[in-house]
Amino acid sequence: MRIHSTQDPRGEPKRMTTGRRIAAAAVAAIFLFGFNASSTATGLTRSAAGPAISSATPRSYELRMHHLHTGEDIDVVYRIGDTYIPEALDQLNHFLRDHRTQDVSSYDPKEFDVLHSIMTSLGRPNGIIDIICGYRTPWSNDFLRSRRASTGVAEHSQHMLAKAIDIRVPGVSTRALRNAALALHAGGVGFYPVSQFVHVDVGPVRAWSFR
């Protein structure tokens, strides 16, 4: 699902995706009427994070990703201020489905915040994240573990809980990506220099390297 900008080079408007229409409507409602009106109008849910949204236009949180197995792309505003957008989360859950079985799970939204924070700390807030692996069913996890004697796939992987994603960022070294994730102290960080990806999850804070 590739998402384009809302304006083409000739100045003609392009169709906005559902996620962006929802985000735009939520920003307008929050700005004009406050949090309660926007949540009623759009079905938004407040994150567990923190303070009430002020009358100023709240910050938008956007993710741009490319899935290396499905070939799909997504560019979505998934959160505005402290408010997660349910429809955008649904899009992300589908995008990060188990590409072997097509099963979809419900990701912990904090995982998306981790990805957003990593890209911000790297100075690439609008950069694209390459997805190696998102959600895994128990079957997929066992399948990967059985392929070789040692694959680095945990028996009780956070991927099966929809709390982990394996990523690369084009133009950023695997080591620099690992260091950015470690600095957050937000969960588990796995460093896979041979396969050139970093595992990030929102489970217990820990770190490891594989080969």
**Whether 54 contacts 111, CB under 8 Å:** no
pLDDT of residue 27: 54
Predicted local distance difference test score (pLDDT) of residue 47:
46
DSSP E strands in the chain: the ranges are 45-46, 60-67, 73-80, 83-84, 128-133, 164-168, 188-192, 197-201, 206-209
Ordered structural domains, the chain, with CATH: 96-209 (3.30.1380.10)
Confidence of residue 148 (pLDDT cuts 50, 70, 90): low
Interatomic CA distance for residues 110 and 99, integer angstroms: 22
pLDDT confidence of 21, banded at 50, 70, 90? low
Reply yes or no on whether the pLDDT at 127 is more than 50.
Answer: yes
Asked which of 9-13, 50-54, 138-142, 144-148 is least confident by mean pLDDT, the reply is 9-13
pLDDT tops 60 at residue 178: yes
pLDDT value of position 17: 53
Q: What is the mean pLDDT of residues 143-171?
A: 84
Q: 64 pLDDT band (50/70/90 cuts)?
A: very high
Mean pLDDT of the chain: 81
